[in-house]
Amino acid sequence: MIHNIPTWFYICLYGLEMFYYIFFKHVKKRYIGLIILIIAGYLNYTFNPYVLPFSLNTALVGMIFYGFGYELKNRKYIFKSNIIYIIFSLLLIIVVAHFNGRINMYKNYYGNYPLFLVGAFSGIYLIATLSTLLSNIFKERKWITYVSKNTIIISGFHLLMFSFMKGFLVFVLHIPIAFLYEKILINVLFAAVSLVLCLPVAYIINRYVPFIVGKKKSPLRG
């Protein structure tokens, strides 16, 4: 965990999928099940001060979003571009972030739980709607498809690339790390460069050792 922080997410997701399957195997009415999960997530957050092994308490909250995603997967019309809804969801996110502060799902900290849910669903709606809008504008692009199919690899290596880039800044260019603090555009550029650096790694893994990510052969080469 210390050397590759994002791995907690995959362990959590693994537990989430197993418990989601078991839970809804016995709870046939999904919306009732989702209400139960929302209440259970609140009770766990309120009365359980500990981070459970394998992020199981985070998985409990994650099942809420997983379940809603499952229910909405065939209702894509909800995410049709509407500038009013986009602006409204963005404003909701800003307001919630202002009043609820920073949350940390890994540590099972959500601030005000209802506000957390409002902000989370607003963010999901905003990203899904913007993704639909961009998809309609740019259509299908090979490089976008390539990136999207290699997000697991990118997630696993991007922080390592951050460390490499910071080391390059400090020891080669002699630029202090403080240069990155509180500078949005520079950090966006920093993240973009990290993404680009991850792509050759993804290519090598897909071509030569695809079993690392559970593949038999590379779906995209070249």
Which residue in 164, 147, 148 sits closest to 199, CA to CA? 147
Amino acid making up residue 195: L
pLDDT in tens, 126-153: 998 888 888 888 877 888 889 988 998 9
Domains of the chain, by residue range, sit at: 1-74, 76-139, 142-213
Other Cβ atoms closer than 10 A to 39: 10
DSSP 170: I
Judge whether 15 and 25 are in contact, CB under 8 Å.
Answer: no
pLDDT in tens, 171-183: 999 988 888 887 8
Q: What are phi and psi of 214, to 5 degrees?
A: 75, 25
| CA atoms within a 13 Å half-sphere pointing along the CA-CB vector of 160 | 13
What global pTM score does this model have? Answer: 0.77
Average pLDDT value over all residues in the chain: 87
- Counting other chains too, the contacts that 70-73 makes at CB distance below 8 Å and 24 or more residues apart are 70/30, 71/30, 71/31, 71/34
Q: Which of 7-11, 24-28, 31-35, 68-72 has the lowest mean pLDDT?
A: 7-11
